Amino acid sequence: MSKKKVFLLGLGSVGRNLLSLMAKEEFNRTLGQKFILVGAADSKNIIFDERGFSAELVLESKKNKALESTGTALKKLPAPDDVDIFVDMSTASKDGIRELNIYSEYLKAGKSIVTSNKSPLANYWPEIMKLAGEGNGKILYESTVCGGLPLFNMVKSALPGMEILSFRGIVNLTANYILETMRKGGSKEDAIKNAIKEGFAETDYYDDVSGLDSARKTVIVANSLFGTQIRLKEQKFEGIDSNIEFHEKARKMLISSIKRTKNGVLTESRIEDVNGDDQFYSLKEKSMAYEISPRFRSPIFVSEDYDGPVETSMGVLSDIISLL
């Protein structure tokens, strides 16, 4: 069987962690034999070599700011014929158009996409899924919501064909970390600085603070698990106001909620008071969590204490492995 040609776009916190995982010996001995890393790109450079790069070499070149002198430098992304799996770990664009154009080219040629970038799916879900449905290419997006906490792959493999009645989740770690820091008397600014330092804040942290990131994820969950065709521009959302008032005995949390009702699927992304009898109340300040209610069974609660770029890169890797 021929090896799959993998190309990586975005070599930031997530991209570099993915390269570290790919460089591990145990990975190379098994799955490493099934693909070749034909190229990578950041915002300034695109490198390509049809014979393949080692993950260590790309990682070292990026760290040493020497990407342009590694392999062949391209002026534009490689042609679809030269790639089988295109992995997008680039910064979310505001409108998703840059990414839509790239995904269209690869999907039309029957090539697959793995993405951790929410913007194209939140803005252009109908177009992207239509393209994926028409050809042989697939799009996998596990790490777009809740980073590395399994959601879409978990539902697909463990609850196949089940109708989901509701979803409630902490899908943006940064906003909830800021809210909890503020409740404990800390400043919003210090919490943001720490989130940037640890790598879990968005490049433009305004997306976290304004609630835009949580709204993007709400749209993706609704479209993926509830069969809607919502676009980000239709989704109302709330962000963190500096004058927010905290009530004694309650935590404030930015929560994404989706419910099937008689009038259709209702989606919300807003800040709620969470009381002690709510299982979200006892989550850690950097937790990610969701509760999902499938028809005919009790709700399922999934949580983790922390999710950052390492965990997200594992979500990306799990999608790549599914395609291999």
Ligand X SMILES: NC(=O)c1ccc[n+]([C@@H]2O[C@H](COP(=O)([O-])OP(=O)(O)OC[C@H]3O[C@@H](n4cnc5c(N)ncnc54)[C@H](OP(=O)(O)O)[C@@H]3O)[C@@H](O)[C@H]2O)c1
Query: Is residue 9 within the footprint of ligand X (CB under 6 A)?
Result: yes
Q: Which two tokens stand for residue 252?
A: 């404030």
Query: Which residue's CB is nearer to ligand X, number 123 or number 265?
Result: 123
Part in contact with ligand X (CB under 6 A); list of ranges 163-171, 195-203, 228-236, 277-285? 195-203
- Cβ atoms of 177 and 285 closer than 8 Å: yes
- Judged by CB under 6 A, which stretch of 40-48, 128-136, 240-248, 269-277 contacts ligand X? 40-48
Site string for ligand X, 136-165 (x = CB under 6 A): -------x---x------------------
Cα-only R_g, the chain:
20
Closest separation in Å from C-beta 152 to ligand X: 13
20: contact with ligand X by CB under 6 A: no
Q: Which two three-digit tokens encode residue 187?
A: 């400043």
Among 36, 41, 155, 230, binds ligand X (CB under 6 A): 41
Of 35 and 177, CB closest to ligand X: 177
Give whichever of 11 and 253 is closer to ligand X, judged by the CB atom.
11
Site string for ligand X, 103-122 (x = CB under 6 A): -------------xxx----
The torsion defined by the Cα of 255, 235, 153 and 295, in degrees rounded to 10, comes to: 80
Residue 11 touches ligand X, criterion: CB under 6 A? yes
For ligand X, the binding residue among 20, 54, 91, 210 (CB under 6 A) is: 91
Q: Does 211 bind ligand X (CB under 6 A)?
A: no
Q: Residue 71 or residue 309: which is nearer to ligand X going by CB?
A: 309
Q: Is 314 left (phi over 0), alpha (psi -120 to 50) or beta?
A: alpha
Residues from 262 through 291 that contact ligand X (CB under 6 A): none
Q: Does 44 bind ligand X (CB under 6 A)?
A: yes
Using Cβ positions, the residue closest to ligand X within the complex turns out to be 12
Tell me: does residue 214 bind ligand X (CB under 6 A): no
Number of amino acids touching ligand X (CB under 6 A): 27
The answer to whether residue 89 forms part of the interface with ligand X (CB under 6 A) is: yes
Our finding on whether 10 is near ligand X (CB under 6 A) is: yes
- Look-up of token digits 């997200």: 312
**291-320 binders of ligand X (CB under 6 A):** 308-309, 312
Q: Are 116 and 143 in contact (CB under 8 A)?
A: yes
Q: In what order do the strands lie in the sheet with 164-170?
A: 264-275, 250-261, 164-170, 288-294, 300-304
Q: How many CA atoms lie within 13 A of 173 on its CB side?
A: 28
Smallest distance from ligand X to CB 315, Å: 8
Q: How far is CA 52 from CA 8, 24, 103, 246, in A?
A: 12, 16, 22, 54
Neighbours of 317 (CB within 10 A): 21
CB 202 within 8 A of CB 208: yes
CA distance to 167, 172, 175, 189, 199, per residue, from 195 (Å): 26, 12, 9, 10, 6
Summarize as ranges the residues that interact with ligand X (CB under 6 A): 9-15, 41-44, 89-92, 116-118, 143, 147, 199-200, 202-203, 308-309, 312
